Chain A
């Protein structure tokens, strides 16, 4: 991705792997792997992964590091992860500001860490240790959450202190900001304005689903709605260029529609980032 101002990627999902590698409809600039879904695999899927790595720049977005957990970090997993990131020449590795393991059981979803000072101390320490072990910075994602848990501070205070003290980068998920602002009745732009945008190394865009009058679930299965595009366009004007990923986890029936989303994101980025850089 070096040397290019505008990079719009797509997650490598098994349902669309062949399509992406053949470029019949979809035409991303880079691919993102969830390492947990590919690590330790051989056979046909390994060959798909190898073709993807040969063809595209790769980023990785982790699912199970469980930065907030009470349990000790899984060092065997982290060691295997490092090998995977190195082998596949991964340029950015991101993870969620959440926990996925509780009482010694993996739960395979992103649970909300309480917005509390002791949790900040805990997560900062773990991010530092993971970064040391991986020998690369983490980009930490602002997660969507549907309820706070025993919060003693705001989400923005929680996120900012962790980023500042750990020295990590940020993955800014614009859809998550929109979802959280809706679900918890705050102003999305005010939230983004308070973030350390100079630390954002990566952006995610995605669709969501409103399941109740006052609740949106971050599904990654629907098209991005216009207000999220608007928030995205507003946000990127405050930032230096970084790669942007379209997250789509299922509903792959209409590939033209997904390519349309990639194109729309790309056009927004070109409008603001290419012009800014040409005039600089």
Chain B
């Protein structure tokens, strides 16, 4: 380290004032000028977080929102060199600090997480698409899922209800958040736990629906048969229409091709 203790101290005092607003005795500065650094820095942080969390800002109100931002920026030690990733650190900080419990805002973690995940899905690196064809059989063929998705679990349904209502509805909720193939726009769908089970099995284990539907019926405690088939066809057909399912996998042997070969 070439820097001397004295220079280190001055630089850190300067930075400390900018981050916390607590006056520091930095020598050799022009009176009144250091304030502008803090002003510019807090503008960047405020704008970034406000833009990322519009629903949270509205739900919390200006004063409480600003408390959260000030607390994070003075104590949270932002680590990312990429300011657009700062909202994730903001969410992480308040989850770790249990700010929601402390301020009697039990929905806070869910709301910040859900709003961040919309950004995450929109901006995350591209994932390789499977090779697929648009014609096939929903039951017999392996499905080509849109790979750019995440399923998030929430305690409060902040993705479907206004916060004032969601807070009365504590439970287990799932949301599928995915990126549309052409536009890159983010969409989300509310899922039941059984929907999650189906998607996870079909996509992650690369199975065809016929391979799991009887097992699914046992797990769900429902009878196999026509009504179940119709319900599954509706669900998967909807995912196909919404481009969460892209089509039918090629390059791997499917049940329908095996049956005809």
Q: Chain A 64-98, CB within 8 Å of chain B: the 1/0 string? A: 11101110001001000000000000000000000
Give CA–CA (A40, B179) in the complex, Å.
16
A–B complex contacts, Cβ < 8 Å, 30 sampled: A36-B82, A36-B83, A37-B84, A40-B82, A41-B123, A43-B123, A68-B11, A70-B3, A77-B81, A102-B14, A102-B18, A103-B15, A103-B16, A103-B77, A104-B79, A107-B41, A108-B83, A108-B86, A111-B11, A111-B15, A114-B11, A116-B4, A118-B4, A121-B2, A122-B2, A146-B30, A148-B30, A149-B11, A150-B10, A150-B29
| A41-B125, A46-B126, A47-B184 known; A146 vs B37 contact (CB < 8 Å) | yes
Top 9 nearest A-B pairs by Cβ distance?
A102-B15, A44-B184, A64-B81, A147-B33, A42-B126, A121-B2, A122-B2, A43-B184, A150-B28
- Is there a chain B Cβ closer than 8 Å to A280's Cβ? no
Asked if B82 and A37 make an inter-chain contact with CB atoms under 8 angstroms apart, the answer reads yes
- Is there a chain A Cβ closer than 8 Å to B7's Cβ? yes
- Is there a chain B Cβ closer than 8 Å to A130's Cβ? no
- Closest-CB distance, A108 to chain B (whole angstroms): 5
- Closest-CB distance, A203 to chain B (whole angstroms): 24
- Is there a chain B Cβ closer than 8 Å to A133's Cβ? no
Asked if A70 and B124 make an inter-chain contact with CB atoms under 8 angstroms apart, the answer reads no
Q: How many residues from B make CB contacts under 8 Å with A? A: 49
- Closest-CB distance, A18 to chain B (whole angstroms): 13
- Is there a chain A Cβ closer than 8 Å to B78's Cβ? yes
Provide the residues of chain B in CB contact with A21, threshold 8 Å: none
Q: Which of B146-191 contact A (CB under 8 A)?
A: 148, 179, 183-185
Provide the residues of chain A in CB contact with B6, threshold 8 Å: 150
- Is there a chain A Cβ closer than 8 Å to B1's Cβ? yes
Minimal Cβ-Cβ distance residue in A for B80:
A106
Give CA–CA (A113, B12) in the complex, Å.
11
Task: State which of B11, B27, B76 has its C-beta within 8 Å of the C-beta of A113.
Answer: B11
Give CA–CA (A66, B183) in the complex, Å.
35
